Structure 1
Amino acid sequence: MLRHSALLLSAALVASCGGAADDGLVRVAHMGDAASLYAVGPELAPGAQLLHGAQQQGLVRFNAAGEIVPGLAERWIVTDDGRSYIFRITEFDLPDGTRLTARAVAEGLEESIERVKGTSLGLDLAKISEVRVMTGRVIEIRLRSPMPGFLHLIAQPELGVALDEGNAGPMLAEREGDATVLVPIPPEFRGQSPRRNWFEIVDRVQLAPYAPRAAARAFEQGQVDLLLGGRLETLPLAITGALSRGTVRLDSAIGLFGLDVLRPEGFLATPANREALALAIDRPSLVAQFNLSGWTGSNRIVAADMPGDDGSVAERWTTLSLDQRRSEAALRVRQWQVQNGAAAAVSVYLPQGPGSDFLFAALAEDLASVGVTLQRAEQRDGADLALRDSTARFAGARWFLNQFNCAFSAPVCSPDTDYLVELSLDAADPAEEASYLAEAEQTLTATNLYIPLGTPIRWSQARAGVEGFSENGWAAHPLFPLSKAPI
């Protein structure tokens, strides 16, 4: 495999030489350090997901628009009951000359599934009851019950298949210092028809870690073509740049964006007092200073309109105005102060960045309106509250609820919620499953150990002419499409 990789990388380098203004290299900056880009483990950081997904694809993968496209499987069908996915594996020779088989892919997938056990991704995969080899090129994955978002789940980079004979791509990588250069594997090595002059029609992709301010400066100065990994805390770095107009790209991502109650003690010891904080926050105005069109916030844990939503859970406090909510919250604060003879004060940990400064100021003003002083914690350890900010792997209530499993999210969790989510796995029908999950959300909501704010904010910057990039609801921006590979 090493010799095969070296030959392809060498061919790509030769093809890219020639002194043209376009050197055939798409330079991508990812906001974060090298440790996060090259991190290993059961669940990967966003930068590491980019690298892993480019080198080890699974049965399916994401395209630039966040849609599911073939990976190692060239096509698939879903049985009428929704409990069986049958994949036909692409036929091609591996670097050592052996044929890719369904058994090798199945074994690699089972290893990936085993590796993520004990994580939230492992819980997401709990519906898989069996991975079965049907023929030399066909795999069946059986589920305990139907799961509409299953293909998005198995497209996750952590489920890329590692083969004993070497990675099956779609790209090969070579590290250069903190950066990595990736080359698209020619189609004949991926079970497709050969294309003439392959390395002349595709680009190489360079991925490098950058500190947030350095990334914004590099983009503004034309040193990089694409900037990835933007979040709320770094958003002001983009919108203040001289060349940012028209280049900032926002993903309408679903996921979790809110405050975890890390220390349910003192004023935060009771669900009613924790709810007082949630009542006081003016969500539509929370990020008004960023002028994010369409972001209105939410006080639900699970995003609205998920598949299987039975409509029994809605936004809270819809019959109360903000003034009425704050009046109730202020009453609870005064009662606690009288009983305890102390002022109500809580601390919050937020990621470093100018966007977090704006968010803190808005939250502090909201809580001050009901008599609670908000302080900024320098470290997560010891803080009363901390920001939770993550994008969903698939559209379904189970993803949201699995994030709060007591196995890894204590004290922000509920054993009763975990029990209901577990029951939902073997529900007799979709209606029963939706009922279990709705009850689970209501149970977790009642603890007020998580204070929802709204949807995650993800942004990128793309220079004019960059192909293979698109905003999408998963904030998924794979590297392979950036190479302009036609296949």
Structure 2
Amino acid sequence: MRSPRLRLIAGLLLAPLLSGCFSSSGDDASSDSSGSGEGGRLGVALAFQPTENYSPYGSQDAFILSRLGVAEGLTRLDANGTAVPALAESWSSEQDGKSWLFTLRDAKFQDGSDVTAKAVASALTHAAQADPAPTAISGVQLTAEAVGDDQVKVTAADADPVLPLRLTNPSLAVFSPKAYGKDGKVSPVGTATGPFALTKITGDTAATLDRFDDYWGGRAQASGIDAKFVSDGTARANALRTGDVDIAEAVPVAQVASLDKDTAHEVNTARNTSLYLNTRTGVFKDAGLRAAAREAVDTSVIAKGVYEGYAEPAQGLYGPALTWASGKRIEPTGLAKAADPKGKSITIATYNDRPELPEAAQVLQQQLQKAGFKVKLEVRTYARLESDLLAGKFDAAVYSRNMMLDTGDPVTVLDGDYTCDGSNNLSFLCDKNVDKLVTTAQAETDPAKRQDAAMKAEAAILGTDAVIPLVHLKVVTGIGTSVKGAVLDPYEREFVGIGTRS
């Protein structure tokens, strides 16, 4: 039996963490789960190509599957950052705080088989054993076991009050048993549970999806989706203008003015663009040179000149979309004194899938050169950059990151991005004080205290100069005037819903 205290803790922890709400273009079709009406196929242009053949454990691929309505997990994030039912219709924590019992709803996989407790437990076990583990469960030591036919017990090594939030991460989506190969690979083609089934893959350039009529949440209004992966932002905008696609992701700010005013839709997000400095090897292993880089950067130039008003200078890691952060921010202490760069050479890497990033890198190049560095830029598509980025082959990286993308929890992203064992640690930061503060924050169960602890960890991270936050972003989505119910999601996990139609 779950104690009253644990019920209270769970309820508080899953309270809203993000201000604002999802919105949809046109009428609010995205909230209609009846699937009434009949729409044609939707053409969409996404900014990022799959990097690992649609593996749910790929850093981009899982979110592609989520945005296209292919895959889902036990829980999902609602508009306020709360974990709400998906494949699980309810859950409760057990006495020790380590285990949670999830009761499944009646649902089917896209291959026609039933969603069972055994299948779900197996899917979560595969995810937990992936190498590297999905960011949301890095260091959690998650295990899952079936309890009867319709319940799954999910356990962490330590008490974990935000485990339902972790399970919203697209990398923890559930697939049918036939999806999992003996070689460890996962095929999402026709094996997921979402309203659209992936039916055809054309390399890393396109994908075809058909409506899954047995979706537990109701029949989607669009009959299918024709997805194109177009890394060039101008090409995405052009595809929308010419009617080649109905929806274009991440329209470059330079292209917004050229769109019909009724087709450009903006939303505040928890996304930042930051300069990550490699603290493990090379020039920026020296704290004094990291401090020199920080002092050289003028973020207002990037906000005004590069983002043209669709961003504002960063105040830290947590931006204005997270209204609780502004009143809790702590100034970093112990900052190193800037050293003279003396012409030392550095390479800054970035990707052109988000076209503002190369422009931002060029501005940074000029600012850092003025400060005394010699700066080379390396620009690729993200698919061709990711492995080298994670291997630490560059001195610095200009990278765009949604601080709430992994779980909706303000602490989880700190663990993944800035601790010694973090799976997305682009700065390769390994600082005992940072790790201690993040661990302390992870243990907090009260939302306000958890936020306070996150801000203390943020201050410590910024004090190392491992990352230099540049701007907080708005995202512009191009949506054709005939489209109704396209989803504008501050978490950037959802792109089309069952009510999206053309």
TM over 0.5: yes
Give the drift of 1:361. Answer: 4.5
Query: 1:17 is matched with which residue?
Result: none
Query: 1:159 is matched with which residue?
Result: 172
- The amino acid across from 1:406 in the alignment is C
Secondary structure of residue in 2 paired with 1:50: helix
1:358 aligns with 2:359: yes
Secondary structure of residue in 1 paired with 2:175: coil
The answer to whether the 8 A contact 1:307-1:395 is kept is no
The answer to whether the 8 A contact 2:276-2:396 is kept is yes
CA distance in 2 between counterparts of 1:118 and 1:68 reads 21
Among residues 366, 386, 396, which one is paired with 1:385 in the alignment?
A: 396
CA distance in 2 between counterparts of 1:95 and 1:470 reads 23
Query: 2:372 is matched with which residue?
Result: 372
Query: 2:409 is matched with which residue?
Result: 395
Give the drift of 1:382. Answer: 6.1
Among residues 221, 224, 227, which one is paired with 2:242 in the alignment?
A: 221
1:257 aligns with 2:276: no
CA distance in 2 between counterparts of 1:132 and 1:176 reads 32
CA distance in 2 between counterparts of 1:387 and 1:102 reads 42
Alpha-carbon deviations, 1:40-74, whole Å to 9, x = none? Answer: 36233158633687333211245799875542223
- The amino acid across from 2:126 in the alignment is E
1:277 aligns with 2:293: yes
CA distance in 1 between counterparts of 2:67 and 2:123 reads 14
Residue 366 and residue 456 in structure 1: after superposition, are their counterparts in 2 closer, same or farther (change >3 A)? same
Secondary structure of residue in 2 paired with 1:473: coil
The answer to whether the 8 A contact 2:319-2:325 is kept is no
Secondary structure of residue in 2 paired with 1:115: coil
Alpha-carbon deviations, 1:201-253, whole Å to 9, x = none? Answer: 543221122241332221111111001255xxx442x2253x34342333422
Residue 374 and residue 240 in structure 1: after superposition, are their counterparts in 2 closer, same or farther (change >3 A)? farther
Give the drift of 1:26. Answer: 0.8
Alignment of 1:107-126 (within 5 A): 107-115=122-130, 117-123=132-138, 126=140
1:42 aligns with 2:57: yes
Between stretches 461-470 and 284-293, larger displacement belongs to: 284-293
CA distance in 1 between counterparts of 2:111 and 2:243 reads 41
CA distance in 1 between counterparts of 2:418 and 2:316 reads 14
Residue 471 and residue 218 in structure 1: after superposition, are their counterparts in 2 closer, same or farther (change >3 A)? same
CA distance in 2 between counterparts of 1:134 and 1:84 reads 12
Query: 2:256 is matched with which residue?
Result: 239
Query: 2:207 is matched with which residue?
Result: 180
CA distance in 1 between counterparts of 2:451 and 2:247 reads 40
Give the drift of 1:30. Answer: 1.2
Among residues 490, 494, 497, which one is paired with 1:477 in the alignment?
A: 494
- The amino acid across from 1:44 in the alignment is S
Residue 206 and residue 483 in structure 1: after superposition, are their counterparts in 2 closer, same or farther (change >3 A)? farther
Residue 373 and residue 111 in structure 1: after superposition, are their counterparts in 2 closer, same or farther (change >3 A)? closer
Residue 423 and residue 397 in structure 1: after superposition, are their counterparts in 2 closer, same or farther (change >3 A)? closer
The answer to whether the 8 A contact 1:308-1:430 is kept is no
Number of equivalences: 430
Q: Normalising by structure 2, what TM-score? A: 0.69
Among residues 146, 149, 152, which one is paired with 1:136 in the alignment?
A: 149
The answer to whether the 8 A contact 1:253-1:473 is kept is yes
Alpha-carbon deviations, 1:168-201, whole Å to 9, x = none? Answer: 3332222164432322322xx3457xx8xx68x5
CA distance in 2 between counterparts of 1:478 and 1:246 reads 18
Alpha-carbon deviations, 1:79-110, whole Å to 9, x = none? Answer: 89976654321125667876533232222222
The answer to whether the 8 A contact 2:349-2:398 is kept is yes
Query: 2:478 is matched with which residue?
Result: 461
Structure (1/2) with the larger helix percentage: 1
Secondary structure of residue in 2 paired with 1:453: strand
The answer to whether the 8 A contact 1:348-1:374 is kept is no
Residue 115 and residue 53 in structure 1: after superposition, are their counterparts in 2 closer, same or farther (change >3 A)? farther
Query: 1:25 is matched with which residue?
Result: 41
CA distance in 2 between counterparts of 1:31 and 1:285 reads 25
Secondary structure of residue in 1 paired with 2:102: strand
The answer to whether the 8 A contact 2:145-2:153 is kept is yes
Unmatched segments (≥5 aa) in structure 2: 1-37, 179-190, 380-388
The answer to whether the 8 A contact 1:346-1:374 is kept is yes
Residue 191 and residue 457 in structure 1: after superposition, are their counterparts in 2 closer, same or farther (change >3 A)? closer
Alpha-carbon deviations, 1:428-469, whole Å to 9, x = none? Answer: 977886776555444433321222223355432111232332
The answer to whether the 8 A contact 1:64-1:469 is kept is no
Query: 1:405 is matched with which residue?
Result: 419
CA distance in 2 between counterparts of 1:79 and 1:204 reads 41
Larger Rg: 1
Q: Normalising by structure 1, what TM-score? A: 0.71
Alignment of 1:86-101 (within 5 A): 86-92=101-107, 99-101=114-116
Among residues 291, 299, 304, which one is paired with 1:288 in the alignment?
A: 304
The answer to whether the 8 A contact 2:145-2:152 is kept is yes
Give the drift of 1:282. Answer: 2.7
Give the drift of 1:119. Answer: 4.8
Give the drift of 1:161. Answer: 0.9
Provide the alpha-carbon RMSD of the alignment. Answer: 4.4
Query: 1:298 is matched with which residue?
Result: 314
Give the drift of 1:386. Answer: 1.5
Give the drift of 1:24. Answer: 0.7
Query: 1:5 is matched with which residue?
Result: none
Residue 48 and residue 275 in structure 1: after superposition, are their counterparts in 2 closer, same or farther (change >3 A)? same
Query: 1:314 is matched with which residue?
Result: 330
Secondary structure of residue in 2 paired with 1:108: helix
Between stretches 388-397 and 419-428, larger displacement belongs to: 419-428
Between stretches 415-424 and 206-215, larger displacement belongs to: 415-424
CA distance in 2 between counterparts of 1:428 and 1:179 reads 43
Alpha-carbon deviations, 1:412-433, whole Å to 9, x = none? Answer: 3024133553465556977886
